[in-house]
Amino acid sequence: MLHILRQGDELEAAYGLREEGCRLDKATRYLRTSLAVLVTLACIYLLGQLRSFFHDIWAVLQALVIPFVASLVVTYLLQPVVEMLHRRRVPRGAAILIIYFTAAVLVAVALLDSIPVFARQLSQLVKDLPGVVADIDRWIDEISRRKDGLPDALRLGVESGLTSVEQQVVQFASGITGWLTGTVNTLFALFLVPFLVFYMLKDGRAIGRALVGLFPPQRREQVREVLHGIDDTLGRYVRGQLLVMLAVFLLTYAGLLVVGMPYAFVLALIVGITNVIPYLGPFLGAAPGLLLALTISPWLALKVLIVNVVVQQCEGNLISPQIMGRTLDLHPLAIVAAVIIGGELAGVLGLVLAVPTLAVAKVVWSHVRASRHPPDGPPSGGNAGFDKSPANS
């Protein structure tokens, strides 16, 4: 009997120790989580204090980032064709030169057809822009004259809104010249793109092996898997996004031609390019067309609005699901947050690069988490952009 009581006391003591250990584990987890949140907030605060310093650095790096990003996009577009020719026993360098020659011919034909239309509409748009700004100023003056009969609170709100709109219009008109100047500098930087693309396509495998070789031997397989995941994700995103942009441009151009909107080619091109920005892009792309249509007639503005709504509905419900599918598998809130942060940090380029950067971070985090809790089966393979053979160490 005493033996049974002693065993019961021991079990009760062990159970109490186990409960105490669970409480300590929970307290430790809460403490670690709280410290992680505090450290993250402190880092964000410090980055905010150093924002001007990073802005100066970014102004220098931007001259390098633009050509490399453009080269990466073109590389992902041409990579499947190069691999197909290489599998047919065409040397990689010769395959790249064949693609360059074919692309040069196609681009020359396309430019010969589109440049006159684009140049004519753009020059007409620049010529008519002062008149458009003057029309908007007249509208603002007309609304300003009619606001006197409104209640004081509403009148003050209207005055504040009109002042803001007028400032935005003036800034937009004055920013056209600066944008054209920056475009010339960007075109000069993009002159390097064909050379960078050639070496990326020709030596992509060697670049991948060199990156893997920088890590310790026991980590190289994990690094190789991460590079495969990044290569596969970025390749599918770039190729799919450009196809979506092309489809949006063609649909918008056709719709604007049907409703009789002037400058249809230029406006459709703006809609197609801005479509690369998630959620915000359609509004940014549709705004110039709507403002120009309002200077002609409200009925035309309504038609242009309908065209943009129909195109965006087709893009969201038909084109993107078929082309992109669930390529990135990112939550919409995460995409919106990334776009806002990217726009704050790097302007327009940050808006464009926010989603692929978030996708790369997700791939890296998924592989890091998988390395801590490895699955039962072997790791999955990757894209052809990086050689999966063992690195030459």
Split at pLDDT 50, 70, 90, the class of 309 is: very high
Residue 116 predicted with pLDDT over 90: no
pLDDT of 310 higher than 90: yes
**What 3-state DSSP class applies to 297?**
coil
pLDDT in the model for residue 280:
78
pLDDT in tens, 311-343: 988 887 788 777 765 666 777 778 888 888 887
Q: What is the pTM of this model?
A: 0.61
Q: What are the tokens at 19?
A: 């409960």
CA–CA distance, 171 with 176 (Å, rounded to integer)? 9
Half-sphere exposure of 387 (CA within 13 A, CB side): 17
Rg (CA), the chain: 29
Residue 38 has what pLDDT?
A: 83
Asked if 373 contacts 235 with a C-beta cutoff of 8 angstroms, the reply is no
For residue 158 the two structure tokens come to 């209207």
Measured CA to CA, the distance from residue 43 to residue 343 in angstroms comes to 19
Q: Does residue 121 carry a pLDDT above 50?
A: yes
Q: Is the CA virtual torsion 56, 59, 62, 63 positive or negative?
A: negative
Instruction: Tell me the CB-side half-sphere exposure of residue 248, using CA atoms within 13 A.
Output: 29
Q: What is the pLDDT of residues 140-156, one digit of tens each?
A: 666 666 655 556 555 56
* Residues 118 and 266: beta-carbon distance below 8 Å: yes
Residue 10: enclosing H or E segment and its boundaries? Answer: helix 2-49
Q: Tokens for 30? A: 């809460």
Our CA angle for 384, 84, 104, nearest 5°, is 110
Give the pLDDT of residue 22: 59
Looking at per-residue confidence, does 112 or 261 come out higher?
Answer: 261
User: Which ranges of the chain does DSSP label H, i.e. alpha helix?
Assistant: 2-49, 51-87, 92-146, 152-190, 193-213, 220-259, 264-274, 281-296, 298-314, 320-323, 332-372
Sorting pLDDT into bands at 50, 70 and 90, what band is 367? confident
**Arithmetic mean of pLDDT over the chain:** 75
How far, in Å, CA of 337 to CA of 344, rounded?
11
